């Protein structure tokens, strides 16, 4: 004896097989022109629009997910790069704390950007495209039910036209036709209501998706621009620190001024830069002010009295010391060269054109040579700006009234 569950399953299977055979037979007859086909041109246009909408929406969803993956990849690459910089940034370098904070802020910014796009754009598209499979399946079902309706309609008509009419079969066929027509019309009406609405809603979906994306992109790039500027400032200050350290290192090496024995043996050694300044001012000991503007406790050869001449013999002060002091005096003398303007620091050459945007700024053309000058009031100097006069103007007129400020990064030292 067969089990009830298996009997039901076998019965349904037989019914489904019979339906498929009937549909296949109906389609063959319709293609051969031996049976008419129910057509709905308006609905077919709706289906064509739906297929286009589904194709575009699916592609957009796929591309946005690819964009999200790229953002995550960029985030990972940025984090590794920033962590590498933070790890190799020595604690004694300028801005170590600022660097660590910047790395954390950059990582947080990437995380927020990725999360916001996922919440406001990708989730919207997820909801949008999840409708397509269900509607596509219902359209396919509606097409099958339309074939069933046509098949039932033709079967009922053939029984009515038959010579031998079997009222029981006709009644059964009419009942099947009514059932098939009801199922088809219910699906047809639902889809006719939903498809136009879905087609119109695509505009709102695109607006919501891309407005959110554009807004988060704008915010992300604005904040990232600030962090990039902060990183640039840290690197600029670090370079200035390096140059300053190199300057002091070079200034504190006696050999840089050519001193073979820069201080007497019984004197406390001083940095060469201080020795340079105080030697010019008439004192070799920074802690002891010079007795007068012209007095020199360590006079050069030929300036000592006979009693002191023996004291400062070549055994204590070799010839190089006195020749080097003469060299230092020559350096200072060049600072008051009448061929150079007052306050002259060094020469620079323009490597880019610069158009002034204010009255106190100087126009630069690539190749111009400018004599950089010291500011009368150092507080007036802005970071990254120099004061100067063009060399050609100074050579011709010896006039600095046309001096102006210009960006330092548009020039290089000559």
Q: What is the CATH number of the domain that holds 389?
A: 2.30.30.40
Q: What is the pLDDT of residues 192-203, one digit of tens each?
A: 999 999 999 999
Co-location of 229 and 357 in the same domain = no
Number of structural domains in the chain: 2
Residue length of the chain: 414
Mean pLDDT within 70-77:
96
pLDDT at residue 83, rounded to an integer: 92
Handedness of CA 322, 328, 332, 337 (dihedral sign): positive
Domain with 190, as residue range(s), is: 19-248
- Cβ contacts of 89 within 8 Å, gap of 6 or more: 96, 99
pLDDT at residue 12, rounded to an integer: 64
Q: What integer best gives the mean pLDDT of the chain?
A: 78
pLDDT at residue 247, rounded to an integer: 72
Among 215, 248, 281, which residue terminates a domain?
248
Of residues 92, 386, 99, 93, the one with CA closest to residue 239: 93
Least confident range from 51-60, 140-149, 278-287, 361-370: namely 278-287
The answer to whether residue 172 is domain-embedded is: yes
pLDDT at residue 251, rounded to an integer: 56
- Work out the number of other CB atoms within 10 angstroms of the CB of residue 276: 22
Q: Do the beta carbons of residue 27 and residue 147 sit within 8 Å?
A: yes
pLDDT at residue 158, rounded to an integer: 81
CATH number at residue 135: 1.20.1270.60
The answer to whether residue 155 is domain-embedded is: yes
The answer to whether residue 275 is domain-embedded is: no
Among 223, 248, 273, which residue terminates a domain?
248
Mean pLDDT within 305-312:
48
* Tokens found for residue 41: 């041109």
The answer to whether residue 10 is domain-embedded is: no
Q: Please, what is the angle between helix 131-161 and helix 167-251, to 10°?
A: 160
The answer to whether residue 3 is domain-embedded is: no
pLDDT at residue 162, rounded to an integer: 75
Q: Which helix (H) or strand (E) holds 369?
A: strand 369-373
* Tokens found for residue 259: 């001193």
pLDDT at residue 385, rounded to an integer: 92
Quote the CA–CA distance of 340 and 322 in Å, as a whole number: 28
**pLDDT band (50, 70, 90) for residue 379:** confident
Residue 279 has, within 13 A of its CA and on its CB side, a CA count of: 27
pLDDT at residue 172, rounded to an integer: 87
**pLDDT band (50, 70, 90) for residue 286:** very low
Quote the CA–CA distance of 111 and 2 in Å, as a whole number: 63
Q: Where are the alpha helices (DSSP H) in 312-412?
A: 319-334, 391-397
CA angle 242, 244, 247 (to 5 degrees): 110
User: What are the distances in angstroms from CA 137 to CA 16, 77, 128?
Assistant: 17, 43, 16
Quote the CA–CA distance of 245 and 253 in Å, as a whole number: 13
- Work out the number of other CB atoms within 10 angstroms of the CB of residue 336: 9
Co-location of 234 and 376 in the same domain = no
**pLDDT band (50, 70, 90) for residue 285:** very low
Co-location of 132 and 242 in the same domain = yes
Q: Do the beta carbons of residue 312 and residue 298 sit within 8 Å?
A: yes
Least confident range from 63-67, 269-273, 369-373: namely 269-273
Mean pLDDT within 357-371:
92
Q: Do the beta carbons of residue 279 and residue 328 sit within 8 Å?
A: yes
Quote the CA–CA distance of 30 and 37 in Å, as a whole number: 6
Dihedral pair phi/psi, residue 389, rounded to 5°: -135, 145
pLDDT at residue 378, rounded to an integer: 85
**pLDDT band (50, 70, 90) for residue 311:** very low
Q: Where are the alpha helices (DSSP H) in 252-349?
A: 272-281, 306-311, 319-334
Quote the CA–CA distance of 279 and 301 in Å, as a whole number: 14
Bridge partners, residue 364, by sequence:
354
Co-location of 178 and 35 in the same domain = yes
27 or 404, which is more confident:
404
Of residues 233, 203, 206, 5, the one with CA closest to residue 98: 233
Quote the CA–CA distance of 125 and 16 in Å, as a whole number: 37
- Work out the number of other CB atoms within 10 angstroms of the CB of residue 291: 11
């Amino acid at each position: 004896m067969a089990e009830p569950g298996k009997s039901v399953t076998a019965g349904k299977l037989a019914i489904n097989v019979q339906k498929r055979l009937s549909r296949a037979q109906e389609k063959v007859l319709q293609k051969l022109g031996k049976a008419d086909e129910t057509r709905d041109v308006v609905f077919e246009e709706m289906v064509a629009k739906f297929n286009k909408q589904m194709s575009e929406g699916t592609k957009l969803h796929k591309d946005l997910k690819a964009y999200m993956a790229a953002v995550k990849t960029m985030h990972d690459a940025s984090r590794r790069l920033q962590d590498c910089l933070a790890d190799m940034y020595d604690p004694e370098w300028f801005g170590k704390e600022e660097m660590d904070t910047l790395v954390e802020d950059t990582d947080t910014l990437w995380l927020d950007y990725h999360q916001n796009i996922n919440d406001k754009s990708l989730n919207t598209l997820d909801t949008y495209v999840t409708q397509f499979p269900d509607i596509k399946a219902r359209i396919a079902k509606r097409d099958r039910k339309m074939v069933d309706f046509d098949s039932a309609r033709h079967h009922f008509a053939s029984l009515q036209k038959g010579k031998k009419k079997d009222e029981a079969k006709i009644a059964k066929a009419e009942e099947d036709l009514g059932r098939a027509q009801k199922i088809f019309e219910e699906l047809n009406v639902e889809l006719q209501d939903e498809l136009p609405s879905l087609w119109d809603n695509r505009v709102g979906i695109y607006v919501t998706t891309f407005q959110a994306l554009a807004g988060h992109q704008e915010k992300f790039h604005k904040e990232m621009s600030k962090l990039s500027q902060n990183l640039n400032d840290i690197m600029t200050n670090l370079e200035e620190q390096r140059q300053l350290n190199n300057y002091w290192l070079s200034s504190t090496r006696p050999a840089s001024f050519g001193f073979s024995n820069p201080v007497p043996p019984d004197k406390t050694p001083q940095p060469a830069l201080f020795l340079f300044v105080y030697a010019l001012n008439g004192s070799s000991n920074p802690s002891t002010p010079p007795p007068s503007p012209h007095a020199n406790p360590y006079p050069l050869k030929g300036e000592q009295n006979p009693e002191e001449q023996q004291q400062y013999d070549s055994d204590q002060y070799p010839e190089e010391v006195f020749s080097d002091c003469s060299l230092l005096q020559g350096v200072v003398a060049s600072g008051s060269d009448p061929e150079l303007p007052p306050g002259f620091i060094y020469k620079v050459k323009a490597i880019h054109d610069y158009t002034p945007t204010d009255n106190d700024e100087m126009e630069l053309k690539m190749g111009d040579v400018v004599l950089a000058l010291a500011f009368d009031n150092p507080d007036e100097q802005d970071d990254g700006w120099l004061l100067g006069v063009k060399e050609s103007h100074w050579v011709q007129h010896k006039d600095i009234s046309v001096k102006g400020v210009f960006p330092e990064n548009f020039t290089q030292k000559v």
